[in-house]
Amino acid sequence: MFCLSSCQENYSNALVLHYYQLDESLKKSNEFIHAATIGILRGMEETCKTKVQYWPLFEKAQKVMDYTRDLSEFIDALKVKMMKETEGIYTEEDALAAQDTLLKGMPKGAKNTAISSEILLTGTYEYQKKLPKAVLLDQKIQALSEQYIALLESCWQQIPDGRFPIKGTLFSDIRNKARTVQQVQNQFTLKSSKDFIRTQEHRTWAESTFGNKPLILVLNHLTAIQNQLETTQYVLVDFFSSQVSPVDFNYPYDKFEILAYSAQSSVRLGETYKTEIALGAYSSKSVFQVVINQDTMQSIDGKVIYRVRPNKVGAQKYKAQISITYPLTGETETFSKEFSFHVIP
């Protein structure tokens, strides 16, 4: 029932079913890993809305996701193409007609070796001398690995005045670059022909991965590559996230919050609005400054008094940006938040 033309009979129906179930299990694993990565990214985004100096790290984590998604979608397209060319998958109706419910979702050409070989290995599918898709896949994997490393190395790129960006992280010291890049790269699970050891049986990575294999096993190998993508993506995003609150300078700054205190919930037109701005859970011994509407005010005893006289009624908004200098290290961290009050006539 599984077999179309160009089948290998040494793959029993039981073995085909095993590979199909293994593939489905691996897909589920990929979904879990991806969900965990998304959770880390969302946490980074929320933190970086306040710790604005770390926003470049969030953007780099987003790029990791974009780069990975492009290759994963390319692999999905390969899977769809090969299944479509072997009559698709068993629907629920097909499985019932075959009197085997286990067939539901399984490729009808599960044992077919010809289509996957033509598309992935020989480059003869559709027309002659077409670049084999396995070769193209290998090139894309290698290019992606290079993108990952380049993105990581860019964290140490100097800004025009010669300083290194993202203070308070590993990236503020160029001496950390080589060691850190190598440590992160060692955790990559994504493999290509660069990692392949040639044997008499398999001369190339493509042959070893896809050669002389039925479609169901080829699909399984492609899903395994997507698993490598997901785990490598997780490593990078988690690494960038770890730098958002990288070092404890004897202050619990990961729980900081900008606070505004005012006895006035609204003011009349012509009156002066007064509020006290402070950093929650913050020591008064620390030095910080507040910037509001391009005006810079230094803290006194851990807070800044902000005064403004509105010239119109209605809701009034202002954005406070606090820069903290840690006394022991000289490192600076920046927070930003928007506040509002109402002016009545």
The answer to whether residue 261 scores a pLDDT higher than 80 is: no
Structure-block tokens of residue 73? 């979608």
Which amino acid, 17?
Answer: L
What percent of the chain has a predicted confidence (pLDDT) above 90? 23
Rounded to 10 degrees, what is the CA torsion of 114, 117, 123, 125?
A: 30
Is the C-alpha dihedral spanning 13, 15, 16, 17 positive or negative?
Answer: positive
Would you state the pLDDT for residue 340?
75
Task: Report CA-CA distances (Å) from 245 to 130, 169, 196, 252.
Answer: 49, 8, 38, 10
Q: Say which residue the tokens 């070989």 belong to.
A: 117
Please give the model's pTM, rounded to 2 decimal places: 0.68
The answer to whether residue 181 scores a pLDDT higher than 60 is: yes
Would you state the pLDDT for residue 52?
84
What percent of the chain has a predicted confidence (pLDDT) above 70? 74
CA Rg value for the chain: 29
Across residues 182-211, what is the average pLDDT?
Answer: 86
DSSP secondary structure, 124-168, as one string: -SSSTTPPPHHHHHHHHHHHHHHHHHHHHHGGGPPPTTS--SSTT
Structure-block tokens of residue 193? 């022909």
DSSP 130: P
Which stretch of 200-214, 253-267, 301-315, 329-343 has the lowest confidence by average pLDDT?
253-267
Structure-block tokens of residue 248? 């404890």
The answer to whether residue 4 scores a pLDDT higher than 50 is: no
Would you state the pLDDT for residue 150?
95
Would you state the pLDDT for residue 269?
67
Give the residue with greater pLDDT, 15 vs 40: 40
Which stretch of 118-122, 138-142, 320-324 has the lowest confidence by average pLDDT?
320-324
Query: What span, in angstroms and rounded, lies between the C-alpha atoms of 216 and 107?
Result: 7
Across residues 231-253, what is the average pLDDT?
Answer: 72
Across residues 8-37, what is the average pLDDT?
Answer: 82
Query: What span, in angstroms and rounded, lies between the C-alpha atoms of 113 and 132?
Result: 15
State pLDDT tens for residues 216-231. 889 989 999 999 999 9
State pLDDT tens for residues 144-170. 999 999 999 998 886 655 555 676 677
Structure-block tokens of residue 207? 């042959």
Taking every pair of Cα atoms in the chain, the longest distance, rounded to a whole number of angstroms, is: 90
